[in-house]
């Protein structure tokens, strides 16, 4: 019997519920009627190992979540034959989660797309036609024809791309450049908008630079892990295995799970706090109040490295400002975009009067903020007493208030204990909220007040959802407002720098921020966007309130291209489907949540006519000349110093002076530049692996490497340093955490001991450059608009509690929350084609409290209608299993295209980050 | 329609003009894992986890050697696993029997789950939550099939 050393400190009587002997008596294993189940014999095993001798092994990265586990991919005869966790990968140390183990099967679903499909009737494109296989040439011909039609009619704002944090870094860079430099359109935004945008907005506002200070080793250094709306046991299982390891093996380790319903992360937690949706805003302020009341502010740290700030409260809810497109049932909630009546809790939390009607007058600049004094800050958090916060935030109606109060106190104790290191982890519970940016800022607030930030085992750690949200979306700046390495389109110096790097004439880049992800879909609905390219994401399943977008896609005069590996919902509503190569069929790089950049080679060729997205971008760009875009262009709404209103200037004369010909193709100017053509394929770094994109482009360059080397220049010297391409491909490298300076990675940012960017003697230096000159004011307003420098400081924000825009009422009487399950990735297009994963969770179910079910005449497995103001779906009821819902709330995951839960969800968003709130819709449930 | 898709996959390596493929036109509704219109609201099937007895039904096949086995029996009676109770270990924690699977007996956890301390094997704490890697299976039909072929 193995000793469970790690559990020895736990009370003996609770160590096991049954003794081993008792258990065996009753267990099925006690039977001796054994007949089957023999594993491989020794000979068979030896045979299998011998068969592996001619396998080709490649280091690679898991295709799924933001953890970024290293894997090894085995291939033979052009097919992947196995994958396994990479024992040398520091992230996962050989382990994978249940879906990570199946990376090897995701490419082999039987309905893999291998040929472009276009809607046609009688051999011609027809929006109402059926899908017919076409050649790439035919596909691009129509795509080009439609592009030209829309660009001529609407200019750069009429086209758009819904991009992805699952693209590789070079793919993201290439598409970003094609849109912004080539087509002069900023309408490119990734699904990371719905995943990480609130985290990004807070990194910018608090630190002036994106991405976490810490790394995963914080788990082994800390003695307190506090989860805020992060069900890590299901969503970041390998990080959870590390937390479990720490929890079971270290007697002082404590784990807290703050959540709106009981989930798998509660099973290992010492303290579970079930709070009411969105009251995390109030709980954070209660902790801040306690820190001050207990005289626990780390003044040495705060005085040297922090300032206090606040911003406007009445910032709207990220909905449309008009009800023109709203379904009749949506209009009451939509009206709150303009004005809301404060409820009692908001009134107390914002030092206002209950019932006051408040105009949402700060929607234009919701992220504005200004300096306040500590005294003002203290006055702001003063209403957040234990009594107030406990009463308004308790999420389980059946939990006694005294017990819940005690839990909040324990939470404050854990944060404040001077002998305790604390890491706060969060993901979508924070980020996907109409106040997502605020609650991110609040988490830093408490870590900064305590001085528990940017040290091993101490820090607020924003986890990412997708495999390259950090690498591809954030670092590359593939957003409607961003450029590579923390640069922003509205900033003239950043545009100028980028134009120089890209060898563009001055003022080629469009200074007008493009449409964010959700707005691109709204633009499709109101006719603003008429040509849409979707790649590596599935918006017509994954974006909230899809009844609007499905209708817009199919019933309006627009052209939708979807690059996909499988026919998901977005492909079904497309006009043209382009078959894409999947991860191990191309070269690539991903950046994970701890700033670790990891790479892989092409292990196997893509099937049939499937081709990498990078090739799709570059090959399509060959069809266009700079003269078609670099002349004067209309951009409605553009109003920027140095530009005529509503217009982008012609830069063609300047281009000619720079040596370009107006006839030059975008391919030549943006991608196959003289410098890039010098990076030749084949290259020894390939170690004999192929590159279908280099082969297809056919002009002898190595696009992934050339693009990489072009890209890394943006981050060098500004704290975002990436190493050269070949460094990451070295056999002994398992990714490197940026900034990589003089060949060394950085483990903790902003800390002199670890970060080469911190000045000697500074101790800590929050050197991010964005939003570091701000006005001064009081809790309500700016009193002195003159910008004051807060260089090298982190900002401690006061942000108040605000009520969710939609809440249960007499008609829609339940909260609805959506998210993922452990066994499936996002919309299930890959994992549901792996039989083992499909069979483990074959359909989305609705978790519900048994009493809530009973009240509606429902029981487990019954079919129910789930209905909101936006639509209704049918779903099976689950009253047991891994989640335990408090009364008044239901949960269903969004992976199942047969159960489209996003027909239910509200598309309200954080007005600062524009990230959708998937966690708080009001619904009703009734028997079918 | 799935047959047509299969055919497509087969034909895809050939350069075919659209004219020759006119009869292969695919209705969008028929695509994907839920072959109905995106505007429809289908009723999902209920599902149950396999209530088989692995003593009789055996263990489930693995796609390749290093894959964690799927759980070949209902698991909910052994869940949840918490810091104090892990009922899976009651049957599968058999460090003396690693690699010595006996037909009809629970499969002993592999050596990868343990750390060696001298002569004694101790369960590695990072492998404690079994369901992170092992999942039970339902009887649900496969949606589209998978052409993966392992070495065996």
Task: Choose among A568, A296, A345: nearest CA to A447.
Answer: A296
- A99 assigned to active site: yes
Backbone angles phi and psi of A124, in degrees to 5: -125, 150
Q: What residues in B contact A238, CB-CB < 8 Å?
A: 132
Residue of B52, B56, B66 to mutate, interface with A, max A Cβ within 10 Å? B66
Out of A138, A233, A567, name the one closest to residue B32 (CB): A567
Render pLDDT for B36-66 as a digit per residue (tens, 0 to 9): 999 999 999 999 998 889 988 888 989 988 8
Rg for chain B (alpha carbons), in Å? Answer: 22
Render pLDDT for A553-601 as a digit per residue (tens, 0 to 9): 999 999 999 999 999 999 999 999 999 999 999 999 999 999 999 999 9
Q: Give every strand in the sheet of A794-798, ordered side by side.
A: A782-789, A773-777, A370-372, A306-310, A794-798
Are the CB atoms for A871 and A839 separated by under 8 Å?
Answer: no
Are the CB atoms for A284 and A439 separated by under 8 Å?
Answer: yes
Chain A: residue whose CA lies nearest to B115: A2
Task: Report how far residue A433's alpha carbon sits from residue A289's, in angstroms, rounded to the nearest whole number.
Answer: 23
If you search the block for the tokens 């626990």, which residue do you land on? Answer: A296
Are the CB atoms for A477 and A483 separated by under 8 Å?
Answer: yes
Q: Would the pLDDT of A403 be above 50?
A: yes
Task: Report how far residue B145's alpha carbon sits from residue B141's, in angstroms, rounded to the nearest whole number.
Answer: 9
Residue of A13, A22, A40, A109 to mutate, interface with B, max B Cβ within 10 Å? A109
- ∠ Cα B61 B65 B68 (to 5°): 70
Are the CB atoms for B123 and B98 separated by under 8 Å?
Answer: no
pLDDT top residue among A182 and B9: A182
- A622, two tokens: 């060959």
Are the CB atoms for A588 and A599 separated by under 8 Å?
Answer: yes
Q: What residues in A contact B46, CB-CB < 8 Å?
A: 861, 863, 876
What is the DSSP track for A815-842? Answer: EEEEE--TT--TTSTTGGGSHHHHHHS-
Taking residue A54's Cβ as centre, other Cβ atoms within 10 Å add up to 9
CATH architecture for residues A117-195+468-712 = 3-Layer(aba) Sandwich (3.40)
- Residue B65: predicted pLDDT: 82
- A817 assigned to active site: no
Backbone angles phi and psi of A190, in degrees to 5: -95, 160
CATH architecture for residues A814-927 = Beta Barrel (2.40)
Query: According to the 3-state scheme, what is the secondary structure of A1-29?
Result: CCECHHHCCCCHHHCCCCCHHHHHHHCHH
Q: Label residue A45 by pLDDT band (50, 70, 90).
A: low
Q: Would the pLDDT of A197 be above 50?
A: yes
Q: What is the helix (H) or strand (E) element at residue A76, kind and residue range? A: strand A70-76
**Residues of chain A with pLDDT > 70: what percent?**
95
> What's the gap in Å between the CA of A853 and the closest CA on chain B?
16
A-B contacts (CB, under 8 Å): 346
ipTM given for this complex: 0.91
* Chain centroid offset of residue A360 CA: 27
- The 8-class DSSP code of residue B61 comes to P
Q: What residues in A contact B128, CB-CB < 8 Å?
A: 6, 241, 244-245, 248
Q: What residues in B contact A550, CB-CB < 8 Å?
A: 38-39
**Residues of chain A with pLDDT > 90: what percent?**
94
Q: Would the pLDDT of A2 be above 50?
A: no
Render pLDDT for A357-389 as a digit per residue (tens, 0 to 9): 999 999 999 999 999 999 999 999 999 999 999
What is the DSSP track for A500-516? Answer: HHTT--TT-S--S----
Q: What residues in B contact A898, CB-CB < 8 Å?
A: 33-34, 42, 44
Q: What residues in B contact A138, CB-CB < 8 Å?
A: 18
Residues 87-116 of B with CB under 8 A from A: 87, 89-91, 93, 95, 101-107, 112, 114
Burial A608-644 (b: 16+ CB within 10 A, else e): bbbbbbbbbbbbbbebbbbbbbbeebebeebeeeebe
Render pLDDT for B59-108 as a digit per residue (tens, 0 to 9): 898 998 889 999 999 999 999 999 999 999 999 999 999 989 888 899 99
Q: What is the helix (H) or strand (E) element at residue A526, kind and residue range? A: helix A517-526
Query: According to the 3-state scheme, what is the secondary structure of A261-307?
Result: CECHHHHCCCEEEEECCCCHHHHHHHHHHHHHHCCCCCHHHHHHHEE
> What's the gap in Å between the CA of B23 and the closest CA on chain A?
9
Task: Report how far residue A644's alpha carbon sits from residue A646's, in angstroms, rounded to the nearest whole number.
Answer: 6
Residues 21-80 of B with CB under 8 A from A: 21-22, 24-29, 31-34, 38-39, 41-47, 53-59, 63-68, 70, 73, 76, 79-80
Rg for chain A (alpha carbons), in Å? Answer: 27
Burial B82-93 (b: 16+ CB within 10 A, else e): bbebbbbbbbbb
- A470 assigned to active site: no
Q: Label residue B119 by pLDDT band (50, 70, 90).
A: confident
* Chain centroid offset of residue A534 CA: 17
Taking residue A769's Cβ as centre, other Cβ atoms within 10 Å add up to 14
> CB under 8 Å to A631, separation ≥6 — which residues?
A650, A652
**Residue A509, Cβ density class (10 Å: 0-12 exposed, 13-18 middle, ≥19 buried):** buried
pLDDT top residue among A31 and A340: A340
Task: Report how far residue A553's alpha carbon sits from residue A560's, in angstroms, rounded to the nearest whole number.
Answer: 7
Mean per-residue pLDDT of chain A: 94
Q: Would the pLDDT of B22 be above 70?
A: no
CB contact under 8 A, A110 and B28: no
Q: What is the mean pLDDT of residues A917-928?
A: 98
Q: Would the pLDDT of A270 be above 70?
A: yes
First to last CA, chain B: 31
Q: Label residue A47 by pLDDT band (50, 70, 90).
A: low
Out of A132, A270, A540, name the one closest to residue B18 (CB): A132
Q: What is the helix (H) or strand (E) element at residue A389, kind and residue range? A: helix A386-393
Q: Label residue A51 by pLDDT band (50, 70, 90).
A: confident
- A478 assigned to active site: no
**CATH node for B54-132:** 1.10.1130.10
Q: Would the pLDDT of A501 be above 70?
A: yes
- B66, two tokens: 């290093």
Helix (H, G, I), strand (E, B) or coil at A109: strand
Q: What is the mean pLDDT of residues B20-38?
A: 85
Q: Would the pLDDT of A236 be above 70?
A: yes
Domain ranges of chain A: 117-195+468-712, 198-463+771-798, 719-759, 814-927
- The 8-class DSSP code of residue A718 comes to T
CB contact under 8 A, A82 and B25: no
Q: Label residue A48 by pLDDT band (50, 70, 90).
A: low
Helix (H, G, I), strand (E, B) or coil at A72: strand
**Which one is catalytic: A65, A120, A232, A428?**
A428
**CATH node for A198-463+771-798:** 3.40.228.10
Q: Where are the alpha helices (DSSP H) in A99-155?
A: 136-154
Taking residue B20's Cβ as centre, other Cβ atoms within 10 Å add up to 11
Q: Would the pLDDT of A349 be above 80?
A: yes
**Which one is catalytic: A195, A478, A848, A905?**
A195
Q: Label residue A225 by pLDDT band (50, 70, 90).
A: very high
CA distances (Å), origin A724, targets A109, A735, A740, A904: 35, 12, 10, 46
- A892, two tokens: 């269903």
Render pLDDT for A751-810 as a digit per residue (tens, 0 to 9): 999 999 999 999 999 999 999 999 999 999 999 999 999 999 999 999 999 999 999 999
**Residue A353, Cβ density class (10 Å: 0-12 exposed, 13-18 middle, ≥19 buried):** exposed
Residue range(s) occupied by CATH 1.10.1130.10 in chain B: 54-132
> CB under 8 Å to A849, separation ≥6 — which residues?
A879, A884, A885, A886, A887, A888, A889
Characterise A262 by phi-psi region: left (phi > 0), alpha (psi -120 to 50), beta (else): beta
């Amino acid at each position: 019997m193995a000793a469970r050393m790690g559990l020895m400190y736990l009370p003996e009587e609770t160590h096991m519920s049954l003794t081993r002997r008792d258990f065996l008596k009753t267990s099925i294993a006690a039977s001796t009627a054994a007949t089957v189940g023999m594993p491989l014999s020794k000979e068979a095993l030896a045979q299998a190992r011998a068969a592996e001798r001619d396998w080709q092994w490649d280091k690679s990265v898991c295709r799924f979540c933001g953890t970024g586990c290293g894997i090894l991919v085995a291939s033979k005869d052009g097919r992947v034959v196995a994958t396994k966790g990479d024992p040398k990968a520091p992230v996962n140390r050989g382990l994978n989660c249940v879906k990570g183990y199946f990376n090897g099967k995701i490419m082999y679903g039987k309905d893999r797309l291998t040929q472009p499909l276009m809607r046609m009737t009688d051999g011609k494109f027809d929006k109402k036609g059926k899908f017919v296989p076409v050649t790439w040439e035919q596909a691009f011909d129509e795509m080009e024809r439609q592009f030209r039609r829309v660009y001529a009619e609407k200019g750069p704002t009429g086209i758009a791309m819904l991009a992805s944090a699952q693209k590789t870094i070079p793919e993201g860079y290439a598409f970003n450049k094609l849109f912004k430099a080539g087509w002069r359109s900023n309408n490119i935004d990734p699904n990371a908008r719905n995943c990480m945008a609130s985290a990004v907005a807070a990194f910018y506002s608090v630190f002036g630079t994106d991405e976490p200070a810490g790394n995963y080793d914080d788990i082994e250094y800390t003695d307190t892990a506090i989860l805020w709306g992060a069900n890590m046991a299901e969503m970041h299982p390998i990080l959870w295995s590390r937390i479990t390891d720490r929890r079971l093996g270290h007697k002082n380790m404590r784990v807290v799970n703050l959540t709106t319903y009981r989930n798998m992360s509660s099973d290992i937690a010492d303290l579970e706090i079930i709070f009411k949706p969105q009251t995390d805003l109030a709980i954070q302020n209660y902790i801040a109040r306690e820190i001050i009341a207990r005289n626990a502010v780390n003044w040495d740290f705060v005085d040297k490295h922090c300032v206090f700030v606040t911003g406007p409260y009445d910032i709207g809810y990220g909905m449309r400002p008009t009800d023109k497109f709203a379904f009749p049932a949506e209009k009451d909630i939509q009206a709150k975009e303009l004005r809301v009546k404060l409820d009692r809790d908001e009134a107390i939390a914002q030092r206002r009067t209950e019932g006051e009607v408040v105009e949402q007058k700060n929607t234009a600049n919701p992220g504005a903020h200004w300096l306040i004094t500590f005294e003002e800050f203290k006055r702001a958090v003063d209403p957040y007493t234990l009594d107030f916060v406990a009463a308004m935030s308790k999420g389980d109606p059946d939990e006694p208030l005294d017990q819940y109060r005690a839990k909040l106190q324990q939470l404050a104790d854990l944060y404040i204990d001077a002998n305790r290191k604390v890491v706060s982890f969060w993901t979508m519970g924070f980020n996907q909220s109409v106040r997502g940016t605020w609650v991110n800022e609040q988490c830093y607030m408490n870590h900064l007040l305590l001085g528990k930030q940017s040290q091993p085992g101490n820090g607020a750690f924003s986890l990412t959802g997708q495999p390259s949200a950090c690498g591809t979306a954030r670092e590359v700046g593939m957003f409607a407002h961003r450029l590579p390495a923390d640069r922003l389109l509205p900033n003239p110096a950043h545009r100028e720098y980028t134009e120089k790097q890209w060898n563009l004439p001055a003022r080629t880049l469009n200074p007008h921020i493009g449409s964010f992800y959700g707005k691109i879909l709204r633009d499709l609905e109101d006719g603003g966007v008429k040509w849409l390219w979707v790649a590596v994401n599935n918006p017509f399943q994954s974006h909230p309130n899809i009844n609007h977008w499905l209708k817009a896609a199919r019933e309006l005069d627009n052209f939708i291209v979807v690059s996909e590996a499988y026919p998901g919902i977005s492909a079904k509503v497309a006009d043209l489907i382009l078959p894409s190569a999947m991860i191990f069929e191309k070269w690539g790089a991903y950046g994970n949540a701890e700033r670790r950049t990891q790479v892989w080679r092409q292990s196997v060729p893509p099937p049939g006519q499937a081709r990498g997205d990078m090739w799709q971008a570059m090959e399509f760009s060959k069809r266009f000349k700079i003269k078609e875009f670099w002349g004067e262009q209309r951009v409605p709404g553009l109003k920027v110093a140095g530009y005529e209103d509503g217009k982008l200037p012609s830069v063609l004369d300047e281009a000619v002076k720079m040596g370009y010909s107006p006839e030059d193709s975008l391919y030549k100017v943006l991608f196959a530049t003289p410098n890039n053509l010098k990076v030749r394929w084949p290259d020894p770094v390939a170690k004999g692996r192929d590159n279908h994109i280099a082969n297809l482009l056919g002009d002898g360059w190595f696009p992934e490497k050339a693009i990489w080397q072009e890209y890394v220049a943006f981050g060098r010297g500004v704290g975002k340093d990436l190493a050269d391409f070949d460094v990451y491909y070295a056999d002994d490298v398992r990714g490197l955490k940026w900034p990589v300076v003089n060949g060394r990675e950085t483990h903790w940012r902003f800390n002199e001991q670890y970060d080469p960017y911190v000045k000697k003697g500074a101790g800590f230096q929050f050197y991010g450059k964005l939003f570091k000159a701000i006005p001064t004011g009081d809790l309500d307003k700016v009193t002195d608009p003159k910008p004051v420098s807060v260089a090298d400081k982190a900002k401690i924000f006061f942000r108040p509690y605000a009520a969710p825009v939609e809440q249960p009422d007499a008609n829609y009487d339940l909260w609805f929350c959506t998210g993922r399950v452990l066994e499936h990735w996002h919309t299930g297009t890959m994992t549901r084609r792996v039989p083992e994963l499909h069979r483990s969770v074959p359909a989305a179910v609705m978790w519900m409290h048994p009493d809530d079910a009973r009240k509606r005449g429902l029981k487990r497995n019954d079919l129910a209608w789930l209905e909101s103001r936006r639509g209704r779906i049918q779903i099976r009821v689950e009253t047991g299993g891994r989640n335990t819902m408090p009364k008044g709330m239901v949960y269903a995951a969004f992976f199942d295209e047969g159960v489209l839960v996003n027909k239910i969800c509200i598309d309200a968003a954080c007005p600062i980050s524009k990230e959708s709130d998937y966690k708080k819709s009001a619904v009703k449930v009734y028997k079918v | 329609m799935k047959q047509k898709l299969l055919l497509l996959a087969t034909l895809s390596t050939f350069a075919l003009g659209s004219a020759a493929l006119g009869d292969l036109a695919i209705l969008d509704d028929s695509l994907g894992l839920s072959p109905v219109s995106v505007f429809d609201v289908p009723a999902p099937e209920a599902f149950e986890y396999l209530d088989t007895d692995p003593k009789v039904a055996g263990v489930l096949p693995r796609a390749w050697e290093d894959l964690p086995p799927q759980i070949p029996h209902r698991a909910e009676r052994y869940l949840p696993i918490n810091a104090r109770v892990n009922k899976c270990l009651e049957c599968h924690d058999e460090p003396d029997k690693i690699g010595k699977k006996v037909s009809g007996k629970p499969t002993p956890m592999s050596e990868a789950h343990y750390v060696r301390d001298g002569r004694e094997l101790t369960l590695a704490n990072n492998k404690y939550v079994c369901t992170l890697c092992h999942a039970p299976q339902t009887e649900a039909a496969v949606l589209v099939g998978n052409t993966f072929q392992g070495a065996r």
